[in-house]
Amino acid sequence: MKQVVIETPVLNSPFREPTRHFRFTDEGITNEIGDGRRISSYFVPIARHADTETLFDQPYEDNKTLRVTGPFTVESLSPHRVLETDDEKQDRDETTDFAEMILENLRKAGVQNTKKGERLKFDTLDPFAGSWLHATGTYTEKVPSSARGEKPETQLRRVAVSIGPEQGTVGPQQVKEAAKEAVQGIGYDLLIVCGFAFDPHVSEEVKRYGKLNVLPARMNPDLVMGDELLKKTGAGNLFMVFGEPDVEIKKDKEGKLTVEIKGVDVYDPTTGQIRSSSTDDIACRFIDTDYNGESFFVRHAYFTGADEPYKKLKRALRAEIDETAWSSLYSTESSPFDRPTTGKIAVKVINHYGDEVLKVFDV
């Protein structure tokens, strides 16, 4: 058998259906590239004298079975990029880096919270060669009028932007250093810290800088997947602000703890004000009743939200659901649990857009 050396073995993206393959002969693989995907018989030989052969790459559809998830799910702890082929690298503009791509989309999309009409739109946003700040600009903020019937006034505000790592978590250290840089000189009114994921301690760090409002904005993972996915996602939820949960921890006579969720403190980027929102904006919440500071383990799970999710779930599954069991999950107050051995609990809240926030409590 002749030995074949293939310098570039990756022909296709792992997230798209294969469009090319290396042809095989009776002697083995060749350098010749064919169109389409390779049929399975090259690796799973069909028995010559068998009456039937099961081909696993050609499944049949069973309409009697109800699908409750997509065909495939991809779980990841951090955003990832698709490895490019040599042809794709030649077509891509080499001068475009990660920060430029984020700023370009930030100019177009602005910063959105969970309300449709509350979006921060930039008047200007230019790159800035700072140590922790990557862009500066201006935006127009509405100032509510005290007189009834008068239109709210507007005021021009200065904004700074700090971009988190392409693959990693934004920690309190980045927030601290970016805020220190933002308050120097004439300073800024708002600091936006963009990241794909945030350390739980960031929520405490953002409260320490007085008149400087620090706003963590969660970036949509589709930003690192390329233009094709961004066209489907649109500009509506690329940069989202999700408020901090309003949580009350109670202690009963036996010394056990319960966690009650009262709502979410929502930041309005158009006015700079923070208001309380009901639990209707919360899709679900998870509790780690013995948080170790490193890994979040779901020990309690509860569902809230408006529009009768019980009936929607029943209709989607086309099955009867134990209403008593569901009522124990559809609650704003948790079941009692023992005091944690670590001295900490963590509450993770997820809204209907899939954005999440994690808050840690010492008990």
Phi then psi for residue 198, to 5 deg, are: -125, 140
CA angle 85–91–93, rounded 5-degree value: 115
Q: Quote the CA–CA distance of 252 and 326 in Å, as a whole number.
A: 24
User: Using 50, 70 and 90 to split pLDDT, how confident is the model at 13?
Assistant: confident
Query: When comparing pLDDT for 79 and 273, which is higher?
Result: 273
Q: How many CA atoms are closer than 13 Å to the CA of 305, on its beta-carbon side?
A: 19
Query: When comparing pLDDT for 93 and 160, which is higher?
Result: 160
Q: Is the pLDDT of residue 323 over 80?
A: no
Q: Is the dihedral of CA 136, 137, 139, 143 positive or negative?
A: positive
CATH architecture assignment, domain 98-240: 3-Layer(aba) Sandwich (3.40)
Q: Quote the CA–CA distance of 158 and 136 in Å, as a whole number.
A: 8
Question: Residue 95's pLDDT is what?
Answer: 42
Structure tokens at 41: 């018989």
Looking up tokens 């979006």 gives 119
Residue 310's nearest CA partner among 331, 289, 334 is 331
Structure tokens at 19: 């469009």
Cross-sheet strand order for the sheet of 356-362: 300-303, 282-288, 344-351, 356-362
Amino acid at 69: T
Structure tokens at 232: 């489907």
**What are the residue boundaries of the structural domains of the chain, listed by start?**
1-60, 98-240, 244-362
Question: Residue 76's pLDDT is what?
Answer: 52
pLDDT, tens digit, 9 for 90 and up, residues 239-286: 888 777 888 899 888 889 999 988 887 777 767 677 777 777 788 889
**CA dist 161 → 136, 189, 192, 328 (Å):** 6, 11, 5, 43
Q: Assign a CATH topology to domain 244-362.
A: Immunoglobulin-like (2.60.40)
Question: Residue 359's pLDDT is what?
Answer: 85
**Element (DSSP H or E) covering residue 176:** helix 172-182
Most confident of 115-124, 270-279, 301-310: 115-124
Would you give the DSSP letter of residue 160?
E
Q: Is the pLDDT of residue 78 over 60?
A: no
Q: Is the pLDDT of residue 50 over 70?
A: no
